[in-house]
Amino acid sequence: LGSQHLYQKELGKDKLSDYQKMDTYVSFDEIIKMKLSESTNRFHKTCPPDVWMRYRCILQYHAETNMWPTADKEDHFCTSITQWVIEQENEDTKVAEKILKESCMQTSELKQLATMATAQVSPVCAVLGGVIGNEVIKVISGKAEPANNTLLFDGFTGACQTFLIGNKFKGNNSKAQ
């Protein structure tokens, strides 16, 4: 959307604010370059949400190997991701250890993630398609505040939330939808 996108906030039934610009805008390229330890907010003080860490693991593995994780590569996936976290947090080994102790970063969970990384589950696709469709309508119409920065849908739990990544100085926020 960019920092120049204009929208009207919903103030109540059939009431809209004046047009305003997005509060913050961080490009996807900037988001991907951030360390996991920098992707936190008031609800996730030490590590980002599990679904964001899983997504970053999959993207990182693909960036390194030009392949998606699969069941037959699960051991390589685990080793590669563990090494990436350690290298990424090279300034602070305590932070890397804390991230690697998260439940979604355990070897068994990473192996499960590798097995399911390329799966397409129809109900998950349908729900996410509906959410994205709603966001597209908000953007095109300029009515209601669109999801800013990152919209996370966790197919394991069915939770959907926005997660503002990359703007520490304005106070990141996250809200369930």
Q: What is the pLDDT of residue 62?
A: 96
Tokens 């590669």, residue located? 80
Asked whether the beta carbons of 6 and 131 are under 8 A apart, the reply is: no
Q: What is the pLDDT of residue 167?
A: 54
Mean pLDDT of 118-140: 88
Mean residue pLDDT of the chain comes to 83
Mean pLDDT of 11-17: 85
Asked whether the beta carbons of 150 and 52 are under 8 A apart, the reply is: yes
Q: What is the pLDDT of residue 29?
A: 83
Q: What is the pLDDT of residue 172?
A: 39
Asked whether residue 173 carries a pLDDT value surpassing 60, the answer given is no
Contacts 24+ apart (CB under 8 A), 120-123: 121/155
**What residues have CB less than 8 Å from 107, skipping those under 6 apart?**
78
> What is the rounded CA–CA span in Å between residue 137 and residue 131?
10
Sign of CA dihedral 115, 81, 99, 169: negative
Q: Could you tell me the pLDDT band of residue 33, with boundaries at 50, 70 and 90?
A: confident
Q: What is the pLDDT of residue 156?
A: 77
Q: What is the pLDDT of residue 128?
A: 86
Q: What is the pLDDT of residue 168?
A: 52
Helix (H, G, I), strand (E, B) or coil at 47: coil
Angstrom CA distances, 153 to 8, 14, 17, 80, 148, stand at 25, 29, 28, 25, 14
Q: What is the pLDDT of residue 171?
A: 42
Q: What are phi and psi of 61, to 5 degrees?
A: -60, -45
Q: What is the pLDDT of residue 122?
A: 86
Q: What are phi and psi of 35, to 5 degrees?
A: -70, 155
Mean pLDDT of 37-56: 83
Q: Could you tell me the pLDDT band of residue 91, with boundaries at 50, 70 and 90?
A: low
Asked whether residue 121 carries a pLDDT value surpassing 80, the answer given is yes
